Chain A
Amino acid sequence: MTPGTRRILSAFLVAMVSLGVLFPPAARGARDVAAELRREKGRLLQMKEREEKTARELTEALRKEKRSKGRVGELQERLKRQKRLLSRIDRKVSALNDSLERAEKAVRELEAAHGQARTDLLRAEVVAFAGQRAGEGDLWRPSDRERERHFMRVYLAADAEGVARITRARERKEEELTGLERQVAVTEKKRTREKKVGDSLLSRQEAERRRLAGIEQEKKRKEEELKSLRAKIARMESVVSRVERQVKERERRARKSAAGKSTVGEAPRRFASLSGGLSAPLPGKVVTRFGRQHDTTFDVTIENRGVEIEAPSGASVKSVGQGEVAFAGAVSGFGNVLIVQHGGGLFSVYGRLDSFLVQQGEAVKKGTVVGRLPGSPSGKSVLYLELRAGGTAIDPTSVIPLDR
């Protein structure tokens, strides 16, 4: 059975349950129904147990997912911090390298200046020595000589101070350079360490992401499973409920039939005797038949109280006979439903309509267009048609000429 068919059958099952309230089915053997009811209840119980287990597993999966997401988030945060830290370290390394370069240049310049200053000082000392020797014993200008000697001492002291200043500056720069080199080494080491930490965090994050993906897959699977189970359970509960109602109804009818005569065989004749007769609501092929059918999806036997006619999408739906619109509205499982009362306890039901072209209480004739089928990508839509006489569903194909 194709999934489409299964869906249709499921819909029928629901429709039966819904319409069963309005139009209860004919009586059946009480023993068969009771056995079927027990069997269905047992299966329902099993499915509920499975649902509980799946729900627990799903809860566990959600908890794991939450934990894993938390860990991933935490790792992401740590990675961000790590990246920021690495960026800061990179900037610091860059700045330190710039400072290092500048300091090296300054040291080179100071070394050159120091060499030049020392050379100048030595030359000045030579000049001073020569000058002193030349002027030694010059009594003719004693004061001038004394002043010149003093100024020469001042000059040499200034030069020596200049050399000392450059030496101190060079030493300071060299110390600074050493400090910078040490800082660069420490920062590089720290960078390597932090890079390792970052790599480790990244790999941990990847592992956690893979784990999370696995958990999410598991969660999705469990959710789908749970959803499917819950749908099945809902349907099953509906079936069970319907069967229970059927059982009750049968019991009631059995009691009623025991009291009066049966009118079952008269229903088709009553429809046939309608003024003007009956006509097909639209040209199409019957794709779901009336009566007991076996649902392979749920492995259950269901009873169809109408037929489904496949027709082109958007096709007009006509009233099968003269009467009055008793109901036009949405019914769960059947979409938009229109019920025409033909009088004498005869009703025709049109389900899965897209729109109504008549209103409740409006009189219709045979062939009056009452609604339209919905559109679909496949170009085909299905009309649900049910006929009831005195509360009993009859096979529409027995009174209306339909293509099977």
Chain B
Amino acid sequence: MSERPSLLWIDWRLSRDPLVRETIGRFLYFCLLGFALLTLLLSGGVSRILADRYAITAVLRAEVPSAEAEGLARKAAALPQVRSATYRDPEAAWKEFLRVYPGLEPLRGAGENPLPGYIEIRIRPDRLTGEDVDLVASALRAVSQVERVLAGEEWLPRLLRAGRLASWACWGIFCAFLAGFFLVGRLQERARAVALASDFAFLAERGVPAGRLAFLRAAGAAISGFLLAAAGTAAGGGALFLSLREFPFLERVIGPPADLLLPGTVATAVLFSIGAALLCAAASLLGWSAARAGRK
């Protein structure tokens, strides 16, 4: 019984060398895209940056004792929107203030510290929205020990809008790279289909239906695309993990490395790989179609 060669990997057998080059290129590209995808996923675009820059300041009354203020900070930290709440006593506030305005130190002399203590509340990146900020600020304003809440009501909407735009821009760039991958893949598929047109004609003459051939080629591209995307994403994730471990300051922009293993991140990576497989399949079919149309 003669072995019937699988049409699934026909391109691999007919055109090995170019396909190896393409595969390597695609893997590297998927590494890049996977790295970008995970970075965007972890950082939420620029949300983490904004969340790191933005804080609600609850200025306490002068007579509030430290123990009470710290208790209040713990309660604030327990709010679902809040990532962290840190109490700074008047002494620390005064030192920070003098660091910003060093010219005031000699003026004050032996005068007493006029500044009260405060609680700095940082919002979770994923909850950095106007509504959540309002909720937290309202909750703080209701506390009698709090004299004033500084939540940036004047500039926060602009900042959030800018953040949204920046995030969209980031995702847009990512999608553009993905689209570029699709276009390049289609061109490569078309070129390969043109180059292997005589071989495909020979198979057609021997009774292999063109549709089956195209389908099996697309299926092969999808499988390889999925594997390459999964491997590239994993490699990108590994690189990101190592980067975050190596450069901890990146955590403030991107996020903690542990977030890479969150189910949501993994599921998104899998979806990305499936999507990449579909794109590869589509590119293969479109390239086949384009080659067939050119031959006629």
Measured CB to CB, the residues of A under 8 A from B are 120, 123-124, 126-128, 130-131, 139-144, 146-148, 150-152, 154-155, 157-159, 162
Contact = CB atoms under 8 A, between A and B. Distances in A.
A151 B159 contact: no
A151 B100 CA distance: 11
Nearest to B114: A158
A143 B107 contact: no
A143 B152 contact: yes
25 contacts: A120-B107, A127-B101, A127-B103, A127-B104, A127-B107, A128-B101, A142-B53, A142-B54, A142-B152, A143-B53, A143-B54, A143-B55, A143-B56, A143-B57, A143-B150, A143-B152, A144-B55, A146-B155, A147-B150, A150-B57, A150-B59, A152-B97, A155-B104, A157-B114, A159-B114
A313 B192 CA distance: 187
A132 to B, nearest CB: 10
Contacts of B100: 131, 148
Contacts of B196: none
B115 interface: yes
A147 B101 contact: no
A141 B49 CA distance: 11
B275 interface: no
Contacts of A128: 101
A162 B114 CA distance: 10
A21 to B, nearest CB: 115
B-side interface mostly: mixed
Contact of A147 (B57, B103, B107, B159): B57
Given A146-B150, A148-B100, A155 B114 contact: yes
What are the 4 closest A-B residue pairs judged by CB atoms, nearest first? A158-B114, A127-B103, A143-B55, A120-B107
A146 B150 CA distance: 7
A281 B31 CA distance: 177
Contacts of A124: 104, 107
Interface in B38-75: 53-57, 59
A271 B51 CA distance: 164
Interface in B104-159: 104, 107-108, 111, 114-116, 118, 148, 150, 152, 155, 159
A123 B107 contact: yes
Nearest to B105: A127
Interface string B66-108: 0000000000000000000000000001000100110110011
Given A148-B100, A152-B101, A157-B114, 13 more contacts: A123-B107, A124-B107, A142-B152, A143-B54, A143-B56, A143-B57, A144-B55, A146-B57, A148-B101, A150-B57, A155-B104, A155-B114, A159-B114
Nearest to B100: A148
Given A142-B159, A147-B118, A123 B55 contact: no
A151 B148 contact: no
Nearest to B156: A142
A246 B77 CA distance: 145
B107 A150 contact: no
A310 B59 CA distance: 128
The interface centre, meaning the residue of A124, A142, A157 with most chain B CB atoms within 10 A of its CB, is A142
A141 B118 CA distance: 17
Interface residues of B, number: 24
A131 B152 contact: no
The interface centre, meaning the residue of B59, B103, B107, B114 with most chain A CB atoms within 10 A of its CB, is B107
B116 A154 contact: yes
Contacts of A159: 114
B137 to A, nearest CB: 12
The interface centre, meaning the residue of B108, B114, B152 with most chain A CB atoms within 10 A of its CB, is B114
Contact of B53 (A140, A150, A155, A158): A140
A159 to B, nearest CB: 8
Contacts of B103: 123, 126-127, 130
B55 to A, nearest CB: 4
A157 B115 CA distance: 11
A155 B152 CA distance: 20
Contacts of B152: 142-143, 146
A400 B260 CA distance: 174
A126 to B, nearest CB: 8
Nearest to A116: B109
B112 to A, nearest CB: 9
A152 B53 CA distance: 20
A141 B97 contact: no
A124 B104 CA distance: 6
Interface string B180-220: 00000000000000000000000000000000000000000
Contacts of A150: 57, 59, 148, 150
A126 B111 CA distance: 19
A128 B118 CA distance: 20
A161 B159 CA distance: 35
The interface centre, meaning the residue of B103, B104, B116 with most chain A CB atoms within 10 A of its CB, is B104
Contacts of A127: 101, 103-104, 107
Nearest to A159: B114
Nearest to A155: B114
Nearest to A140: B53
A142 B103 CA distance: 22
A311 to B, nearest CB: 109
Nearest to A143: B55
Contacts of B107: 120, 123-124, 127
B56 A148 contact: no
Contacts of A152: 97, 101
A375 to B, nearest CB: 98
B150 A154 contact: no
Nearest to A146: B150
Nearest to A156: B114
A382 to B, nearest CB: 107
A128 B107 CA distance: 12
B59 A142 contact: no
A119 to B, nearest CB: 9
Nearest to B88: A147
Contacts of B148: 150
A143 B111 CA distance: 27
A142 B155 contact: yes
A166 to B, nearest CB: 12
A155 B57 contact: no
A151 B152 CA distance: 14
